[in-house]
Amino acid sequence: MLLNYELKIETDRVRGVIRLRLNDHRGAHLEGQTIEVDRYHLRDWQALLDTRRYLKRVTQLQERDRTGQPVTAQRHLERVGAFLGTEILGPKIMATLTAERGRRSLLISLPTAEADPLGAAFARVPWEIARPALGERQLMELGLIIRVVTPSAVRRDRSVAALRKMVSTGRTPLRVLLVYAVAPGARPLAMRMEREQLLRLFEDEILPRRRVEIDVLCHGVTPALLQEQLKASDGYHVIHWSGHGRHNGLEVLDEDGARSVLSGKKLVALIEGAGRFIPQLVYLSTCSSGTLMGGRDWTALKTHLSGRRAAEEVDRSAGRGTGVTREPTGREALDRAIADIEASPEGYSSTALELLACGVPQVVAMRYSVGDDYARELARWFYQRLLADPGEPSTESALELARTDVLEKGSPGASHVAVDHANAMMFGQAGRLLAPAHGRSEQMDSLRPQPQPLLPAGRGDLDPPARFVGRGQVLTRLNQSWLAPGGSGAAIVEGGAGLGKSTLAAEVIHLWHRRFDWVLAFQAKSKPISAEELFSQIHARLTLDSVVYYRKCEKRPSARVYLEPSDVLAGGARYNRMRINLLEALRDEAILLLLDGFEANVESIAGEAGFACNDPEWGRLLGNLATELPATHSRLLITSRRPVAELAGSTCLRLTVEPFERAETELFVYNNETLSELLFGDREWRALLDRVCRVCRGHPFALARIVSLTRDRSVLAEALDVLETKDIDELTDALELFIAERAA
């Protein structure tokens, strides 16, 4: 049985003290602590209320210990933890919290911001790192689970019991929505890595054993798109939100494609506007989603904590007029900061607390900014513990276990920022509100696009890309203007050799194949595909896999997509009938038709509108598809090095892939294990990596192929000398020739 404690926080501005009261689960008083604000230096308050920034600043000072060794961020964090344990919580409270072994729960009960602004700001304190003394273990290592709540932020939802019963009995699957939102102009995030890692977790360990369903919403997330997703799914029990965040807002696109902010209150209103139930758990993998201060509020407090402005105010109010600043006392600085905070029009809240106030029972959110690596690995372990562990831990226990998993098993990228382990907070109600029923998820039947294989002869060009970065703008356009109901129906992606058109097509298939009954992919890279051959292969595949198509053709053979030539039906009339039958098949079921490498089917000399198809039947077919598909659930996607003339005047969506921008190149390097290792090499290796990014100019193929040369520094440098003299469209051939000559 879990031992539960509650820590209540109050401040007395008149006397300049902060009171902590530790109660047991019945509310009975156990221990107390009174803290005089003026007793401690302003740096101590900075360390507690802005720990991440404090660690960054003091680490940059390059302080050394008595042996001459640099003091690491981890050492500084240990000092903050010891100060928090010995001076703030105090020996008596710490002794009570550490007396028992095993899992225990500590509820941090904050006052309302209206009643006590500074007390509410203590949500920023990383209580998990408190330790009885230097060298001893911190609370997070001693099995203590911490949860945060304020009196005004919890509204119990009566539907919880009914939802829990439906999910636990298997009457409805537990539905999870992963939202990945990036606003225009925002810094690129490694969100695809997180998305793919979570999908693998669910597909490998959760869906085979639990009645769970998972959906993904990404690329061009707008409030309207989110609401449509909610309507189509009948609501979600868990929403996982990843992207850029603010203290009280999640960044999204507005309907005009500009950056917008969705507050916690607006998010819940949007869910209710869709006529769906409020999620029982929202996981906010976004920066500052759990902080209670707005930008202006926190700036005011930090300014006063820094000392200078507060000292000037104190001197001025005392009529000294000397122009000489002095460091204020802790009480003077905090007092002035609170006055500024109370006058702020932004209010005093957070995305997490707004969600709680609107009826979401449980929220996981972040105190500070959060790194991509840590956010990804914490989310992965959290859902593993919550939904895959046979012990079925509570939500707060799952978070605490996940934190320990990252601490003990995490990658170097996730573990090197020590304060990240105290970043995530659990808000709201305790316990395990949703427990999915045991049994195989129905989504196991749709993990891969059908029919398989996508391409003959074992070709894997359209398999899920192992490493895919960037292309956010192209994918957003496809999602909003091609896939959406009433969208263009046909889309062509154009671009030079090696820019990743096939990889982009593979990403489209992998990401959105569940919207279609069938994915019919054809590739013309090695040789052209005639329209005759296309009709024949579509007929063969649908006959084998589609019951709808098979029965239709059984009843009416003339409805087949492919019709043998005969005396009755030949020439143009036959092709016209086959086009009609193909369109009917595309209306009957949702089919994604992919034509990859279509440049093999067009002429070599361009006309005014582009390159005409070699086979006139191709031109007529593409024109018909572009006109008719918008009214269906089927879609056509073409990739080609050359623009196709027959699509120039149609409603077809035309998109172009370009070399990566610098930020996307950096993300490519970050996602590639071999290249990313060079980041941690010596100065010469890092200089070579910087040169790789500059010489390759964001060319995906060149970046991918140059990995094979990174074993030898001199060979890599020689290859870069060769590539530096080439135009960007010559990089592919020049690099292949260089590699072939070295191999010979």
Q: CA 314, CA 438: separation in Å to the nearest integer?
A: 65
For 574-578, the CB contacts below 8 A with 24+ separation are 575/531, 575/617, 575/620, 578/535
For 658-715, the pLDDT digits (tens) are: 999 888 888 888 777 788 777 677 788 888 888 888 888 989 888 888 888 888 888 8
In the block, residue with structure tokens 């903050």: 80
How would residue 56 be classed by pLDDT, with cut points 50, 70 and 90? Answer: confident
Tell whether the model's pLDDT for residue 404 goes beyond 90.
no
Q: How many residues does the chain have?
A: 744
Q: Which residue has the higher pLDDT, 199 or 337?
A: 199
For 582-615, the pLDDT digits (tens) are: 999 999 999 999 999 999 999 988 888 889 999 9
DSSP characters for 663-675?
HHHHHHHHH-HHH
Neighbours of 672 (CB within 10 A): 18
- In the chain the domains, ranked by start, together with CATH numbers, are 3-152 (3.30.420), 159-293+348-439 (3.40.50.1460), 295-342 (no CATH), 448-656 (3.40.50.300), 662-743 (no CATH)
**Nearest to 651, CA basis, from 478, 473, 482:** 482
Share of the chain above pLDDT 70, in %: 88
> Model's pTM, two decimal places?
0.87
Specify the pLDDT at position 279: 92
Specify the pLDDT at position 198: 95
Sequence-distant (6+) residues with CB within 8 A of 569 are: 563, 577
Buried b (16+ CB within 10 A) or exposed e, 147-179: bbbbebbbeebeebeebbebbbeeebbbbbbbb
Mean pLDDT of 198-206: 96
Neighbours of 739 (CB within 10 A): 16
Contact in structure between 276 and 356 (CB atoms under 8 Å): no
The packing angle between helices 295-306 and 330-342, to 10°, is 160
For 166-170, the CB contacts below 8 A with 24+ separation are 167/211, 167/237, 167/434, 167/435, 167/436, 167/437, 168/434, 168/435, 168/436, 168/437, 169/437, 170/211, 170/437, 170/439
Neighbours of 395 (CB within 10 A): 28
Tell whether the model's pLDDT for residue 162 goes beyond 70.
yes
Helices (H), 1-133: 42-49, 51-60, 73-83, 90-99, 117-120
How would residue 327 be classed by pLDDT, with cut points 50, 70 and 90? Answer: low
Mean pLDDT of 372-387: 93
Specify the pLDDT at position 320: 44
| Mean pLDDT of all residues belonging to the chain | 85
Largest CA distance in the chain: 109
For 268-311, the pLDDT digits (tens) are: 889 888 878 889 999 999 887 877 654 444 455 555 445 444 44
Q: CA 479, CA 481: separation in Å to the nearest integer?
A: 6
Specify the pLDDT at position 323: 47
Specify the pLDDT at position 416: 65
Contact in structure between 333 and 307 (CB atoms under 8 Å): yes
For 329-362, the pLDDT digits (tens) are: 555 655 655 555 555 544 456 788 888 888 898 9
Mark residue 500 as left, alpha or beta (left: phi above 0; alpha: psi -120 to 50; beta: remaining). left
DSSP 493: E
**Residues paired with 490 in a beta bridge:** 636
Mean pLDDT of 545-560: 96
